[in-house]
Amino acid sequence: MSDFFKYKNYYATVYFNNSDEVFFGKLEGINDLVNFEGKSVTTLKRAFREAVNDYIETCKQIGKDPEKAYKGSFNVRVASKLHKEAAIVASQKNISLNQFVQAAISYAVQHDDEVIGG
């Protein structure tokens, strides 16, 4: 089982370990590894907020930007047939393949429940 928490524009993935009967999570979108855990949802949420606050404070004390920097570029691997189809559609719309992929990602992010099945 996994889910997400949000607090102060920080996100975390959260899980449940059935054998240990503990909830645990990890902050996402940062350059460091920050974990937290709790025996109940209430203690997990409290531990998450504490982890975020501690992380922000630690970064402030050492003069580090807490946010992960994203370059805006990454490699995507798709099936050759999909690559061809996307290139054709982009060409028909008189846009670059890069612009087409950017539009598709933007749409998927804005409509994640519909597109990805969330």
Phi/psi at 25 (5° precision): -150, 170
Please tell me whether residues 51 and 13 are part of one structural domain.
Answer: yes
Please tell me whether residues 46 and 94 are part of one structural domain.
Answer: no
User: What are the Cα distances from residue 103, in Å, to 57, 70, 108?
Assistant: 36, 18, 9
Predicted pLDDT at 92: 94
Say how many domains are in the chain. 2
Predicted pLDDT at 115: 65
For residue 28, give the 3-state DSSP assignment.
strand
- Residue 68 in domain: no
Domain that holds residue 13: 2-62
Q: Would you say how long the chain is, in residues?
A: 118
Return per-residue pLDDT of the chain as tens, 118 residues: 458 899 998 999 999 989 989 999 999 999 899 999 999 999 999 999 999 999 999 999 999 988 888 888 889 899 999 999 999 999 999 999 999 999 999 998 888 766 665 5
Predicted pLDDT at 117: 59
Cβ partners under 8 Å of residue 118, min gap 6: 112
Cα separation, 62 vs 95, whole angstroms: 45
Predicted pLDDT at 1: 44
- Residue 43 in domain: yes
- Residue 72 in domain: no
- Residue 111 in domain: yes
Place of tokens 């580090």: 64
Phi/psi at 56 (5° precision): -60, -45
Predicted pLDDT at 37: 95
